[in-house]
Copies of this chain bind each other. A is one copy, B any other.
Amino acid sequence: MNSELRIAVLGVGRMGADHVQRITRTISGARVAVVNDYVTERAREIADTVPGARVVEDPIDAIADPEVDAVVLATPGPTHEKQLLACLEHGKPVMCEKPLTTSVETSLEVVRAEAATGKKLIQVGFMRRFDREYEQLKALLDSGDLGRALVVHCAHRNPEVPPHFDSAMIVRDSLVHEVDVARFLLDEEITKIQIIAPSANPAAPEGLRDPQIAIFTTESGRHVDAEVFVTTGIAYEVRTEVVAERGSAMIGLDVGLVRTSAPGVRGGTITPGFVERFGQAYDVEIQRWVDAVHAGAETGNYVDGPGAWDGYAAAAVCEAGVLSLESGEPVAVDMVARADISGA
């Protein structure tokens, strides 16, 4: 495709505003064309940071706008149903932050309405599926190396939650991610759920049932348990272990995917080559350089990273190194003083 996708971002609270920045600065092949928020002043503030973006005051108008190719929905959950149906009506692809809608019934209506279009237009923002570790874990399961998954253990810990967070929100806003992870990894539906609320953390707000332990049973009878604990005071810890027929694998220990790879051996994969190791570094390098060049017209500095001097210094050290390789003796590095070069 030749042209950039023109996106309308609806709802520019923290998450929506992040998406605006992301699409503008990081994503290739798309730009923010329209910004909408129920607080119009907020929409304007955000739109002003994006060249070429304009504000549309009504969310349905924004969706219907002929100069909008696709929609990002970061509005409050209760508005999703109406906005999603509008997207379907106008045939606009939509990336909808969770929840799809705020009730099972209306979610099902949205599913049916999309099915009636004969297209897949709605994506839901379960972003963990795009996390490198979850992708690795899923790929490992799909490879068949571990055989069939039998049991999944999840832990989901937050240091703290906002004051209005209640016991049901632990299920709907936190556990929901483990629900999607379980369905994603096991490729089947959950048919039974049990929530155990043991004696609560004394440090949790009065009345909050925290931690909670959820137990899922799947269609084929597999077991998933998930600890959700949102007032740990420690950090954000999200961990998943799959125990399978021929081994187990765990992610979320801050050490990458760890698996039992063979009888008696526990291991991780070592990066096979420089592309895997430094591929992302190239992306960062070029993006920062592009940004620096954009900024350079004003400063005269078109560089964000090592410059010519660093290339020269490396050459001088390596030259001495090759001499030392021949002699085995220490060799002094012969370089001019940087101060002797005005401007270097």
Contact A98 B27 (CB under 8 A): no
Contact A332 B281 (CB under 8 A): no
Q: Looking at the complex, which one of B110, B272, B289, B334 makes contact with A308 (CB distance below 8 Å)?
A: B110
A344-B80 Cα distance, complex, nearest whole Å:
19
Q: Looking at the complex, which one of B96, B215, B289, B302 makes contact with A196 (CB distance below 8 Å)?
A: B215
Which secondary structure characterizes the binding site on chain A? mixed
A295-B263 Cα distance, complex, nearest whole Å:
38
Copies of this polypeptide in the complex: 4
Neighbouring B residues of A72 by C-beta, 8 Å = 286
Contact B235 A306 (CB under 8 A): no
Contact B150 A98 (CB under 8 A): no
A335 (CB) vs chain B CBs: closest residue:
B189
A245-B200 Cα distance, complex, nearest whole Å:
9
Neighbouring B residues of A120 by C-beta, 8 Å = 296, 300-303, 307
A121 (CB) vs chain B CBs: closest residue:
B302
A287-B287 Cα distance, complex, nearest whole Å:
15
A316-B193 Cα distance, complex, nearest whole Å:
10
**A220-B199 contact given A265-B270, A329-B194, A344-B114, CB 8 Å threshold:** yes
Contact digits for A193-214, partner B, Cβ 8 Å, 1 yes 0 no: 1111111011100000101111
A288-B23 Cα distance, complex, nearest whole Å:
12
Contact B266 A104 (CB under 8 A): no
Q: Which of A41-49, A57-65, A136-144, A223-231 contacts B (4 or more CB under 8 A)?
A: A223-231
Contact digits for A246-281, partner B, Cβ 8 Å, 1 yes 0 no: 111000001110001111111111111110111011
A25-B227 Cα distance, complex, nearest whole Å:
39
A305-B313 Cα distance, complex, nearest whole Å:
47
Contact B213 A333 (CB under 8 A): no
Contact A332 B176 (CB under 8 A): no
State how many angstroms separate the Cβ of A248 from the closest Cβ of chain B: 7
Q: Looking at the complex, which one of B98, B236, B280 makes contact with A271 (CB distance below 8 Å)?
A: B236
**A270-B281 contact given A300-B118, A305-B123, CB 8 Å threshold:** no
Q: Looking at the complex, which one of B235, B255, B296 makes contact with A254 (CB distance below 8 Å)?
A: B255
Neighbouring B residues of A319 by C-beta, 8 Å = 103-104
The 3 closest A-B pairs by CB, nearest first: A100-B311, A267-B267, A93-B302
A-B contact pairs, 9 of them (CB 8 A): A69-B293, A111-B308, A114-B307, A115-B343, A120-B300, A127-B278, A192-B320, A234-B264, A235-B273
